[in-house]
Amino acid sequence: MTEPEWHVEPGLTDYEEALAAMETRVAAIRDGGAPERIWLVEHPPVYTAGTSAVESDLVDAGRFPVFRTGRGGQYTYHGPGQRVGYVMLDLDRRGRDIRCFVDALEDWMIAALARFEVEAFKAEGRVGVWTRTPAGEAKIGAIGVRVRRWVSFHGFALNVAPDLSHFGGIVPCGLPDYPVTSLAALGIRATLADLDAALAATLPGFLARLAARQAAACR
């Protein structure tokens, strides 16, 4: 099976334009008119609401634009210094199991963070990727996916060096007891390009996990 197209978008990508581009690409993938794609972007500051978002978790509605999306999950923030990965894969070919797909995405993020000597992990009942800080467990990576006609879109967000105060306008992912962190907050000097390289290096492992889970039950 061929690897998906890999594209890193320069500069800041308007969120609405990104949604429209994903919609177009997902339809083309399903109809056989375009290859799968992994699209890495950086957005201007926005809050996005997933299908499970609770209105009371939008603490400051006037701070940044708010977009309602069809992805899974609750409220999250996107902004400069954060790498957003839109993962558009044909799960008809790679395995019709959304839980396994999300699990593999988390493993990919963890493997990429390990390149920076960050010990990240999954937490029972909490989607996303976590790490330990002096203040306790904190979220460093979020996941919110959508699947249409067995093509995935939306994806993940990893915090490299965003302004963490921007998360204060929401209850991130509906978890008020857990803060967010970033590579910069952990004392790691890294750029988005550094993270992109780590993601590219660990991409084959992610695709291999999907293939393995297509052949066997997700564990």
Q: Give the confidence band of 219 by pLDDT, cuts at 50, 70, 90.
A: low
Q: What angle do CA 50, 151, 70 make, to 5 degrees?
A: 15
Q: Contact at 8 Å (CB) between 154 and 124?
A: no
pLDDT of 23 strictly over 60: yes
Average pLDDT of the residues in 99-120? 97
The catalytic site residues sit at: 173
Write out pLDDT tens, residues 177-188. 889 999 999 999
- SS (HEC) of 138-204: EEEEEEEEEEECCEEEEEEEEECCCCHHHHHHECHHHCCCCCECCCCCCCCCCCHHHHHHHHHHHHH
Write out pLDDT tens, residues 84-107. 999 999 999 999 999 999 999 999
Write out pLDDT tens, residues 24-60. 999 999 999 999 999 999 999 999 998 888 999 999 9
pLDDT of 218 strictly over 60: no
Beta bridge pairs of residue 148: 151
Nearest in space to 180 (alpha carbons), one of 71, 78, 62 = 78
* Domains, the chain, with CATH or none: 5-215 (3.30.930.10)
pTM score, whole prediction = 0.94
